[in-house]
Amino acid sequence: MSAGILGVGKFIPERVVTNFDLEKKMDTSDEWIRTRTGIQERRIADEKTNTSDMAFAAAKDAIKNAGIRATDLDMILVATVTPDQPFPSMACMLQDRLGAGHVAAMDISAACSGCIYGMITAKQFIDSGVYKHVLVVGVEKLSKITNWEDRTTAVLFGDAAAAVVLGPVSEGRGIISWELGSDGSGGKNLYQDGPFIKMNGREVFKFAVRQMGESAVHVVEKAGLKKEDIDFLIPHQANIRIMEASRERLGIPEEKMIKSIHKYGNTSSSSIPLALADAVEEGRIKEDDLIVMVGFGGGLTWGALTLRWGR
Ligand code: ACO
C-alpha cells in the first residue's frame, strides 16, 4: 500500500487586507512589501472565527472532495501553532464537530512545516495497513499572534486553513520519497514571545534558502528522479525570494512553481495544502503529475516530499 492524496479542501476568510490597507496603519509601503516578499494581499479572519472553525470548514471540503464520509476517517491530525487553546487539541475538537468515530486525533506543532510532518505521519499508518483514511489539516489564525505595531512581521502573515485526506492509492502513485528534520538551535530566530511572533528575518531567510533547496534536491534524488521529471514544485509560501531560490536550486522553469503568496501571504502550516488546493481547483494538476512539496518553519523544522498525483 502506498499513501496518496484522495482529496483537498480549503477555507479562506472573506476579509481581504491589501498592502495599501497596511500603508494606512503602519510605516510601510506596497512597494516594499511586494518587492521584498511577493505579497500583495492577505486574508484576515474576523473576531468570531477561530482556528477550529477554519479547520472544520477546510476538513469538510477535503472529506467531500475525497468522496468519503467523516465516519470513514481512521485518524485526524491538525498542524497549527495558533490553536484555540493549548488543549483540548484542535484534532479532538474536529473529531467531535465532524462526527467522526472515536479515532486517533492529535495536533502537530512544527510551524510552517506542520502539514508535511502531518502527511508523512499519515503515510506511516497507511503504508503499514493500520489505517485507511487520515485527515491532515493545516490551519492558522496568525492574526491573533501578530503584533500590528511591528512592521517587520505584521506585513508577512495571513489566516487560512487547508486540508488533505490521505489514503491508499494505486501502485506508482502517492508519496514516493520524503525527508523531515529539525534544528532547535535556530529556535531563537522564530518564536512566540508572550502574545506575539518574534523573528530574526535575515537569519530565517538564510536558513530557509539553504534548507528548502537542499531538502527539495534530496527528495528528488531519493525518489530516483531527475529535474525533468518534476511537473510542479509547491514550496512553503513564505517569501517569493526564498521560493525562487528553491526553484532555481532544483533547476526547473518558473511556470512549474505554484505560487499563491501574492494573495494569501504566509499562512504557515496551511500554505502548502492551500497552494495545492488552488492548483487542483484551477485544473492545473493532472493525473500522474510529479509534485515536489517543501517547507520550513519555526523550531526550526523542515520537510519535503515527492508525490505522484492520482488515486
Ligand atoms: N516596511 C518597510 N520597511 C521595512 C519593513 C516594512 N514592513 N520591515 C522592515 N523594514 C525595513 C527595516 O527596518 C530595514 O530598514 P533599515 O535598513 O533602515 O534598518 C529595511 O527595511 C531592510 O530590512 P531587512 O530585514 O534587511 O529586509 P529583508 O530584505 O531581510 O526582508 C524579510 C525582510 C522580508 C522579513 C525577510 O528577511 C524574510 O522574508 N525573512 C524570512 C521570513 C520568513 O519566511 N519567516 C517565516 C516565518 S513562518 C513561521 O514559522 C510562523
Give the contacts of 90 (CB within 8 A, at least 6 positions apart). Answer: 51, 52, 55, 78, 80, 83, 84, 107, 137, 139
Tell me what pLDDT residue 61 has. Answer: 98
Distance 207 CA to ligand 1 centre (A): 14
Would you call 266 a catalytic residue per the annotation? yes
Give me the CATH topology for the region 174-308.
Peroxisomal Thiolase; Chain A, domain 1 (3.40.47)
Q: How far is the CA of 199 from the centre of ligand 1 (A)?
A: 9
Residue 179: predicted pLDDT: 98
Rounded to 5 degrees, φ, ψ at 191 are -160, 170
Q: Has residue 1 got a pLDDT over 80?
A: no
Q: Per the structure block, which three cell numbers stand in for 88?
A: 483540548
pLDDT digits (tens, 9 = 90+) for 119-139: 999 999 999 999 999 999 999
Catalytic residue, from 112, 115, 133, 189: name it: 112
The best mutation among 20, 21, 36, 155 to test binding of ligand 1, ranked by most ligand atoms within 8 Å of the C-beta, falls on 36
pLDDT number for residue 27 = 96
Domains 2-169 and 174-308 belong to one CATH topology: yes
Q: Residues 272-291: what's their mean pLDDT?
A: 98
Is the pLDDT reported for residue 5 higher than 80? Answer: yes
How confident is the model at residue 252, as a pLDDT? 97
Looking at the domain covering 2-169, what would its CATH class be? alpha beta
Predicted pLDDT at 120: 98
Decide whether any atom of ligand 1 lies within 6 Å of the 238 Cβ: yes
Phi, psi of 290 (to 5 degrees): -100, 120
- Pocket lining: 267 vs ligand 1, CB cutoff 6 Å: no
How far is 84 from 101, CA to CA, in rounded Å? Answer: 22
DSSP code of 283?
T
pLDDT digits (tens, 9 = 90+) for 129-188: 999 999 999 999 999 999 999 999 999 999 999 999 999 999 999 999 999 999 999 999
Tell me the three state secondary structure of residue 235.
strand
Cβ–ligand 1 distance for 206 under 6 Å, the answer: no
Core vs surface per residue 175-184: b (16+ CB within 10 A) or e: bbbbbbbbee
Domain boundaries, the chain: 2-169, 174-308
Per residue in 16-62, pLDDT (tens digit) is 999 999 999 999 999 999 999 999 999 999 999 999 999 999 999 99
Contact 261, 203 (CB under 8 A): no
Q: What residue owns the CA closest to ligand 1's atom 42?
A: 201
pLDDT value of residue 23:
96
Whether 275 is in the pocket of ligand 1, judged by its Cβ within 6 Å, is no
The 3-state secondary structure of 131-197 reads CCCEEEEEEECHHHHCCCCCHHHHCCECCEEEEEEEEEECCCCEEEEEEEEECHHHHHHEEEECCEE
- Is the CB of 36 inside a 6 Å radius of any atom of ligand 1? yes
Is 200 among the residues known to form the active site?
A: no
Q: What are phi and psi of 107, to 5 degrees?
A: -95, 155
pLDDT(200) > 80? yes
Bridge partners for 136 per DSSP: 77, 164
Bond prior to 300 in cis (omega within 30° of 0): yes
Q: Contact, 81 vs 192, CB < 8 A?
A: yes
Global model pTM greater than 0.95:
yes
The ligand 1 atom at the shortest distance from the C-alpha of residue 238 is: 44
DSSP one-letter code for 265: -
Q: How far apart are CA 169 and CA 2, in angstroms?
A: 6
pLDDT of res. 122 = 98
Any atom of ligand 1 within 6 Å of the Cβ of 268: yes
Nearest alpha-carbon partner for 204 in 236, 162, 251? 236
Say if ligand 1 is within 6 A of residue 211 CB.
no
pLDDT at 219: 98
Q: Is 32 in the pocket of ligand 1 (CB under 6 A)?
A: yes
C-alpha to C-alpha distance for 166 and 176, rounded to whole angstroms? 14
Per-residue pLDDT tens over the stretch 223-273: 999 999 999 999 999 999 999 999 999 999 999 999 999 999 999 999 999
Mean of all residue pLDDT scores within the chain = 97
Tell me the CA–centroid distance for residue 115 and ligand 1, in Å.
25
Examine the residue annotation and report whether 112 is marked as an active-site residue of this protein: yes
The residues near 309 (Cβ < 8 Å, ≥ 6 apart) are 4, 5, 173, 285, 286, 287, 288, 289, 290, 291
Of the candidates 50, 65, 115, 236, the residue annotated as catalytic is 236
**Cα atoms found within 13 Å of the Cα of residue 93, Cβ hemisphere only:** 19
